[in-house]
Amino acid sequence: MNQREVLALFDRQMRREARPLGPASRVEGDERVVRHVGSAQDWNAVLWSDLDEETADAVIAEQVRLFEGLGVEVEWKLYGHDRPADLGERLIKAGFVPDDPETLMVAQISELDLDTTPPEGVRLVPVIDAAGVDLMFRASEQAFEEPSGTLRHQVLAQLTDEPESIRAFVAMAGDEPVCGARMDLNEGTVFASLWGGGTVPAWQGRGIYSALVAHRARIAAELGYEFLQVDASDQSRPILQRLGFEALGTTTPYRREPGS
């Protein structure tokens, strides 16, 4: 995989030419910035920017005014190769707060070993309704030790309104959900995006995460996607590397609450 070419393709298809996640959202922007805009229950974000030292502060201030006017939290999704080099510092001065950085990882599906299966006693169940979403997020909240917030609403809305754009699963051990994961199918691109995958502590280290990656990869391959993309935590990065994913850079979410 030519990492530079794939990163450029990712920037173009997944950021500059991004499509809205759900019928209640829209993607808008100009030659300087691309935004994902929706209600307070939707994901509001700056997806891509083309800035320099002279234009950055004014464009940041414009985004702050826009999202303040909507009264919603906004995430500026900053990538390590974005410019100017001090963009993160400028965002902090404008009231944004950085989360932990993650690693942008990509794999060419045809190069992955997809024979991994769940451990004995665990089955992968498709999530197709509210009951399944509840099970999936029950596992995720235990795994990550934080509430799901508006993400539960967003996933359920996507399953309801645009089911062709998502595949979601919960790993069940008997009647207990032990891991939840989903995949966004980004129409018009060569990328399918993997999200979630946190495993409850008692079931970690048994290969459930790897099995869910392989399961989703097989589906993506059948649907004609060429690459899988993950924003990987420090915990998942070594697992993904062993599976054949490559690190293309870093991504850090900078969040700003209304009135900050």
Rg (CA), the chain: 18
Determine the pLDDT at residue 215.
97
- Determine the Cα–Cα distance for residues 176 and 155; give it in Å rounded to an integer: 20
Tell me the three state secondary structure of residue 64: helix
What is the residue range of 12's domain? Answer: 3-102+252-256
To which H or E segment does residue 47 belong? strand 45-49
If asked whether residues 146 and 229 sit together in one domain, one would say: yes
CB 15 within 8 A of CB 27: no
If asked whether residues 95 and 141 sit together in one domain, one would say: no
If asked whether residues 113 and 182 sit together in one domain, one would say: yes
If asked whether residues 130 and 231 sit together in one domain, one would say: yes
DSSP annotation of 118 reads: P
Which pLDDT tens digit goes with each residue over 181-240? Answer: 999 999 999 999 999 999 999 999 999 999 999 999 999 999 999 999 999 999 999 999
Determine the pLDDT at residue 225.
98
Determine the pLDDT at residue 126.
98
Q: How many distinct structural domains can be found in the chain?
A: 2
Evaluate if residue 22 carries a pLDDT over 90.
Answer: no
If asked whether residues 131 and 220 sit together in one domain, one would say: yes
Which pLDDT tens digit goes with each residue over 38-91? Answer: 999 899 999 999 999 999 999 999 999 999 999 999 999 999 999 999 999 999
If asked whether residues 140 and 213 sit together in one domain, one would say: yes
- Determine the Cα–Cα distance for residues 258 and 238; give it in Å rounded to an integer: 36
Determine the pLDDT at residue 148.
86
